[in-house]
Amino acid sequence: MPDAAAVHEPFRYVVAESSLDFRGLSGDELGDLLDRFNEALLELQEDAAVAVCSLVFDTECDDGQELWEFLFGPDAPPVPADTRRLLARLLDRCASWDDERYGDVGTVPDAVRVDGTDTDGAWSVGYALVNASKKHGTGCVSFGERHRSWLPVSDGERTGEVCFLTRAEDRTGFWQGLFSREDVAEDRFLDYAERAFPNLVCAPTLRFRAFDGAYRDLRDEVVGVLAAIDGHFAEALEACKGQPYQVQSYLGRWGLDVSPESPNTRSKPKAMAQRDVQYNGETFSCEWHAKIERHRNRVHFSLPREELGGRILIGIFADHLDT
């Protein structure tokens, strides 16, 4: 996907400056949390542009202390200088979403209610709420564990769900959550899937029309299936030493009904050939499949493959292949 700033679209990630509240934390606790925040911010900046409110350095991070004083002031806080310098560099690297070069964002609230808690000085969360009202998800990179994942946010006039990310790996849940919240169209599904399912490779030949049913009736179920495969299939293979029945049982805890083909189907070369998918000049057997319904609609996929960097090929969407 193109960089948001380059086409003047709303940013995908912003720093939740309202989360930068260091009150009550010991030096060690604060240092550890800032290291994690820096790591998340660094990785997310490699994924897409991350923006801040131009007032971020004016955030009161402790009683009587603004963020710029914490980072650059003469009184050294009980946090390693390298940690503070890295945070300063990462924030300085961010664009300001309220810069007029990125378009008119309109009126953005500075006070919002997050999951039932009143939050002041929350310009970037307000920006994300405004974007959510326009069906454009913006994730808020958040310090600490106070807010995480998708939460309800309101400014009294608008109400929406905003995703808070405290670790870089939270971005998968963010992108997976966009399918329904942005009502992603079929022709954009694979574009979003590239980021939503980092452990999967989706064959470009996948088509929802191969299922029995309409795209919007099936989209969210398919997202759930792909999310479970992405998050847990390789883990299940390792934990169960590849034993199919044990893998099935293991994945059942995430509501996933999967299996390889039966011995009867494997004995039929023509039927098994339907499970072969050509990708980048290689043939992948996609005999493992997840059942969306017991009697119809299957997602066929391969085992993790070295040629794909250990990822799994999602090779076939089908009503039902020959058995």
**The total number of structural domains that make up the chain:** 2
- Residue 6 has a pLDDT of 47
**Same structural domain for residues 204 and 137?**
no
**Same structural domain for residues 157 and 194?**
no
- Residue 84 has a pLDDT of 93
- In whole angstroms, how far apart are CA 198 and each of 247, 287, 289? 21, 21, 19
**pLDDT means per 10 residues in the chain (323 residues)?**
56 96 92 96 93 96 93 83 95 94 88 94 96 96 89 95 95 97 97 97 97 97 97 96 95 93 94 96 96 94 96 97 91
- Residue 4 has a pLDDT of 44
**Same structural domain for residues 196 and 143?**
no
**Same structural domain for residues 248 and 217?**
yes
**Same structural domain for residues 97 and 34?**
yes
Under 8 Å between Cβ of 227 and 220 = no
Give the pTM: 0.92
In a domain, 265, yes or no: yes
**Same structural domain for residues 23 and 92?**
yes
The CA angle 128-131-137, to the nearest 5 degrees, is: 75
d(CA 34, CA 31): 5
Under 8 Å between Cβ of 207 and 167 = no
- Residue 145 has a pLDDT of 80
**Same structural domain for residues 194 and 117?**
no
In a domain, 178, yes or no: no
Of 106, 137, 172, which one is at a domain's C-terminal end? 172
**Same structural domain for residues 159 and 261?**
no
Which structural domain, as residue segments, surrounds residue 256?
A: 186-318
- Residue 146 has a pLDDT of 81
Of 172, 199, 229, which one is at a domain's C-terminal end? 172
d(CA 221, CA 236): 21
- In whole angstroms, how far apart are CA 157 and each of 49, 103, 162? 28, 22, 15
In a domain, 227, yes or no: yes
Q: Looking up tokens 């990785």, which residue turns up?
A: 43
Of 150, 172, 194, which one is at a domain's C-terminal end? 172
- Residue 73 has a pLDDT of 85
Q: What is the DSSP letter of 285?
A: E
In a domain, 179, yes or no: no
